Structure 1
Amino acid sequence: MAGFHQSAPAPVNITMVAHPSITLLIDLSEGDGLVYDAHGSHGRGSVVAGLLPGEVRAGGWVGQCLQIRLSPIMASAVFGASAELSGTVVRLDEVWGRETEQFEDRLRTAASWDERFAVAMDLLGRRLDAHRPVEPELSYVWRRTIHSRGLMQVDRLAEETGWSRKRLWSRFRSQLGITPKRAAQLVRFDHAAHLLAAGHAPARAAAASGYVDQSHLHREVKAFTGTTPTVLAAAPWLAIDDLAWPASTHNNSRVWV
């Protein structure tokens, strides 16, 4: 999780880049608050963006915002049905109901960002305790997918779990809201996107991320973002991402002001 403070209205909206997580943007602003635009619909307030949400723009707010990223494994346990979130953007209160307002109020009145992180961890922990976790085989496959940066073959993952490919595909899709192959593609894309944002040339980023060639990377970037690797490399969302979750830190939270 990361905390953000905006002292003046954002001059432009910031488009989210596809990421292998369920993303919560919790609006802690007073007044009009966070504005978001997704799939042609507009709204204000706290929002949840599922895996592969497509184009989502957020901005226009003055104040503070807490961003929380949950892996599909954690999201399934926290929300109880992550499959319903995949590819969607919904208001937080549509998922958490009446508990949302109390949660936001506790975060707003907290004396520091550390206290806010603690409040969020407490709520997430209680929701984890209240829901059934996903099957351990799926947790294992997700970890292997992340650690391999999306380069593990589905057949091999199925073999390692002792499941058939068909069973793995079915359980993964029903409990995590995405297929194993699509998950691997998303994780691989995320690695390449951060290499591009770090200044690596497309050809080098493609080779380091396991793409056949630069053209392959170009097609994948186009499919995920509708842009080119050059445009993606300059995406404000990735610049913020690097500041909020620097690769060199081992902390699970960071404040960016």
Structure 2
Amino acid sequence: MAGFRDRSAEPLDLPVVPYPSVMIAFEFGEGLLVEDADGRQQRGSTVLGLAPGGLRVRGRSVECLQIRLSPVVAHAVLGGATAAEHPHTGGEMVPLEDIWGPEARRVEERLRAASSWRERFALADAELLRRYTAGRPATAEVTYVWQQMAARRGRIRIDALAAEIGWSRQRLWSRFRSQIGLTPKRAAQLLRFDHAAHRLAAGHSAGAVAAESGYADQSHLHRDALAFAGMTPAAVAAAPWLAVDDTAWAVAAGPGASA
């Protein structure tokens, strides 16, 4: 988790580079606004599913707590909210209240009233643990497949994983989609793109990144950057939202961070 506070004179307007996690954003300022590629907008505490394409974060006097969850953990924390139950969790934005009900507002109020970021982190950590313990975990097979895909940065044959766990390809496709929110193929593409995005941000050329990340060529990487982030590889490399991995997320002492 990471805490963000922006008090600059200019309104905040940042592109969101997708990350292979489900994100919960608790908003405490004057109005964090998330806008998708189709112009749909969401204010307040929000859940962003895997692979949201072309999202932007806008607002003035923004103050928020951002939590990234592995999708296998999010399945339990969000009460088993799957793509079938909440279609938007497969890649779009959903008000947290739609998933947690009135309790979402009560959690937000407790976090808002906390006297420090450290207290907010502790409160959020306790709430997540409570919900994870009481929730429905993803199945062991789906969890294993996700972990293997993440370890290989998406460069693994889905059919081989299905055979390894003793499932048919069709069964894996269905169970994975219902519990993770994406098909195995799309999830693998997201994991591959995430690795490429961080290599681009580290200053490597698009051609080199495409070759080492398993893309057919530079044009293939360009298409994925447009599909996942709504921007070119060059824009992905310079996107401020990606910088949280090297700044806010890295300065934490303990379970959270603040920036």
Same fold (TM over 0.5): yes
Alignment of 1:1-257 (within 5 A): 1-29=1-29, 32-38=30-36, 39-79=38-78, 80-83=80-83, 84=86, 85-246=89-250, 252-256=255-259
Equivalent AA in structure 2 for residue 104 of structure 1 = E
Equivalent AA in structure 1 for residue 21 of structure 2 = S
Question: CA contact under 8 A between 1:48 and 1:90: conserved in structure 2?
Answer: yes
Report deviation, 1:10: 4.5
- Identity rate of aligned residues, in percent? 52
Q: Which residues of structure 1 form unaligned runs of 5+?
A: none
For residue 62 of structure 1, give the secondary structure of its aligned residue in structure 2: coil
Structure 1 segments of 4+ aligned residues over 4 angstroms from their partners? 248-252
State how far apart, in whole Å, the 2-side matches of 1:63 and 1:217 are: 33
1:145-168 C-alpha deviation (Å, 9 max, x unpaired): 111111111011112212122211
Report deviation, 1:63: 4.7
Give the TM-score of the pair, scaled to structure 2.
0.91
Question: CA contact under 8 A between 2:49 and 2:181: conserved in structure 1?
Answer: no
Give the TM-score of the pair, scaled to structure 1.
0.91
- Cα gap change, 1:112 to 1:226, in 2 (>3 Å): closer
1:26-71 C-alpha deviation (Å, 9 max, x unpaired): 1022xx3212222322342111111122222212131521000111
How many corresponding residue pairs? 253
Report deviation, 1:190: 0.5
Q: Which residues of structure 2 form unaligned runs of 5+?
A: none
Question: CA contact under 8 A between 1:35 and 1:61: conserved in structure 2?
Answer: no
State how far apart, in whole Å, the 1-side matches of 2:42 and 2:225 are: 27
Question: CA contact under 8 A between 2:34 and 2:42: conserved in structure 1?
Answer: yes
